[in-house]
Amino acid sequence: MDLGLKGRTAVVTGASRGIGLAIVSALAEEGVNVVAAARTVPPALRESGAIPIAVDLSTAEGPVELIARALEEVGEIDVLVNNVGGGDGGGQVSGFLGFDDADWLAVHSLNFLAAVRTTRAAMPSLLRRGGAVVNISSNGARMPHAGPVTYTTAKAALTAFGKAVAEEFGPQGVRLNTVSPGPVRTALWEDPEGYGAALAASMGLSLEQLLAGLPGATGMTTGRLVEPAEVAALVTYLASPLAASVTGADFVIDGGAIKTV
């Protein structure tokens, strides 16, 4: 299926691995000129065909720098994918009392304010192009108890932000949608030093035992973790002209874990 994206431009944040790298690859395969932002640029990102930009989006200056450089590299921006996130790594399984102010500020800066700042910087160009924004949130935004409270509440704010911006800028031609994955087969869960490993240790399990039982424990009726390419396919569709009447929506892709309507 031709999604009508060939020759368009996109900026993808958090692009070095996992969901972000999969989104970069999916957009590039559709003929999109992609600017890929990450703190570091690994070989896989360099080989993706995207234009890599090393930038720290957790700072106030990073998003402004990114969009300025993207405009220089590819011209006007048709698509912005706010994927950057983190702060749900190893060592964050102690609960609410385990987080101090610095933890809250760091996680919300990366998972929420980075998207706010990048969207604000890109919006003039998106308005000129009638562009589309896709924010990558989490099904944890609907189940804040399901992960580190700093992370899930930041994602809840991101989801609400998407609704508000879609309402304001929809009449001006810019669409904004949110994609909320459940557990995805990424380093977050599979890295021996990541959140999955820390969670497993806190439960007296090996990482392999945790991963084997995770789909059932979280109610994923598919019986497996979500693949990054599956999230990327949904994002690519939402970025395309085929989704011209889709805006202000939050698409959960979590294997059926959320049971509410």
Known catalytic residues are 151
Going by the DSSP 8-state scheme, the letter that residue 249 receives in this structure is -
Quick one: which of 165, 142, 169 has its CA closest to 153? Answer: 142
Specify which residues 179 forms β-bridges with: 136, 251
Quick one: which of 98, 93, 135, 138 has its CA closest to 113? Answer: 135
Q: How far apart are CA 152 and CA 95, in angstroms?
A: 12
Please check whether residue 150 is in contact with residue 125, taking contact to mean a CB–CB distance below 8 angstroms: no
**H helix or E strand, kind and range, residue 174:** none
How many alpha carbons lie under 13 Å from residue 27 in its C-beta half-sphere? 32
Residue that has been written with the tokens 């800028």 in this structure: 169
Six token digits for residue 109: 């800066």
Whole-number Cα distances in Å, 256 to 23, 116, 218: 22, 29, 9
